[in-house]
Chain A
Amino acid sequence: MNGHLELKNLRKVFRTDDTEVVAIDDISLDVAKGELVSLIGPSGCGKTTVLRMVAGLQEPTSGKIVLQGREVQGPGSDRGMVFQEFALFPWRSVRRNVEFGLEIAGVPKEERRKKVERYLDVVGLERFADARIHELSGGMKQRVGIARAMVNNPDVLLMDEPFGALDAQTRNIMQGELLKILAKTSKTILFVTHSVDEALYLSDRIIMLSKRPGRIKTIIEVPWPRPRDRAAPEFAALRKQILSELEKENVMDD
């Protein structure tokens, strides 16, 4: 069993009164331990739906999701999720946000404190432990989101356009930060983005989905070691190739 996370023939159909929309069709994917896999595709292709199904927040119509050899049923702390909207608890301080999962799991106070300190340190927020959420910038908020998802030490980290709400500059900084965090903790990550640049900068593999119904269209292995140089000619060439393929996908259906 080399696949740490396996998606097997995932299919999701949304039903309304008289219409059926196939959002996701026949997606099978193996994500190895420690691998960072990005899902990209035209908007509405269901990439977020895939992530939410892995998180257990939505149920697949058919197919299954297997994590560490066990089938996923509903949400659980073995899969941490980072949201585009940050989804932080505004009535809790930074520390208490990060602590949430440990509190839920009934971890004793002293141990909780130590773990929270460690992860705040990992994301570079040790000086802001007692700050309130509305005092933070967007980038800092998402650092809290990442620390909160990681503190439970999940098997997979699910990131749903985590830097999508940030300005371009902060976004680049956060991508760099994420790589640093990864170097320290080596997590398996399933990453949804609509930025080809971001996917190329971060991923081991990029899965391109087709327009609705979302199927796997192409799988791109990114061969270069990290950190990567966005200005390198081969980086630009691959980006151009992926973008033109994405564009084709958008045009075909219109």
Chain B
Amino acid sequence: MARTSEYGGSAWRYDKDNKYHRYGRTVLITIASLLTFLLAWWVLSIIAAIPYFPTPERAWSAFQLLMERGDLATGLTMWQNVEASLYRFGGGFIIAFAVAVPLGLALGYSGLVEEFAKPMIEVLRPIAPIAWAPLFVLAMGTSLGPMMVVFIGVFFPLLTNTIFGVKKIDSHLVDAAKTLGANEYQIFYKVMLPCTAPYIMNGIRVGLGIGWMCIVAAEMIAPFGGGIGYFINNQAQIGNWPNVFVGLGIVSVLGIMTTGLADYVHRIISRRMGIE
């Protein structure tokens, strides 16, 4: 209803209390931002005029060609590269989730376990995940190796967030459950776990971002086996710069999609928990 004035030609005023106006504003600003980015890329690449920095049109036509014919250097299609990356990324993430969440719950719950495990964790934590890549790739191969790098990247943020979540549990809720007759197991399952869920989800959100950085970097170390990181490295070595830029673009889009999904789930869980 409020939008009719937009087409009516009369003075159109932005109304911040109107949901559609707010959405419209966000969309317009986002488009403006992306267009500015493209324009800057285009202008800079024309001014620079060097082969390492292709124009957006060249990168786009390289993308079309790649989607059509695949990566001629390895014989893999782009979908196969994406699939290889996502497979490793997903595998590393699932292993990290399966280890970090139960461990985090135990560490947050028991003072003794935490005191014991903390020094070990603190020794490992400062090591950048990618520093493990040469070792993992050699020891475990080009599929499991990068997967383990992702595991390390996701593991620590997920673990610390889970521990933090357990510590933040409102002791009154545990008391309430006790007075309602809940046993240890029921308290864990029906109170602690739901209380910790938003924090776990936050750990997932942060972990996905880091994990995504890890997978691309780790694949660059792997000598073969496909994947977007591998593709980028390979194309750089043969000097096909537009293709490198296509690889970077794919990394960006997939990264936005994974963290966007995690953000969405996090918001839903937080709202359910009434903490927003």
Contact = CB atoms under 8 A, between A and B. Distances in A.
Contact of B186 (A56, A104, A149, A152): A104
B82 interface: no
B173 A87 contact: yes
Nearest to B181: A77
B276 to A, nearest CB: 8
Interface residues of B, number: 20
B181 A90 contact: no
B180 A101 contact: yes
B250 interface: no
Range for the number of chain A residues in contact with chain B: 20 to 34
A77 B183 CA distance: 11
Contact of B182 (A55, A85, A90, A104): A104
Nearest to A97: B176
A8 B275 CA distance: 43
A134 interface: yes
Interface string B21-53: 000000000000000000000000000000000
A132 B274 CA distance: 8
Given A57-B175, A87-B175, A77 B194 contact: no
A89 interface: yes
Interface in B165-191: 170, 172-173, 175-182, 186, 190-191
B178 A104 contact: no
B118 interface: no
Nearest to B172: A87
Given A87-B170, A87-B172, A89-B173, A149 B179 contact: yes
Nearest to B175: A57
A75 interface: yes
Contact of A91 (B176, B178, B194): B194
Interface in A38-60: 55-57
Interface in A66-95: 75-77, 79-81, 83, 85, 87-91
Contact of B179 (A75, A85, A91): A75
Nearest to B173: A87
A238 to B, nearest CB: 32
A75 B172 CA distance: 14
B272 interface: yes
Nearest to B176: A87
B176 A81 contact: yes
Given A100-B177, A148-B176, 17 more contacts: A55-B179, A56-B178, A57-B175, A75-B178, A75-B181, A80-B180, A81-B175, A81-B179, A89-B194, A91-B272, A100-B180, A100-B190, A101-B180, A104-B180, A104-B182, A133-B274, A158-B179
10 contacts: A56-B179, A57-B178, A81-B175, A81-B176, A87-B172, A100-B190, A101-B181, A132-B274, A152-B180, A152-B181
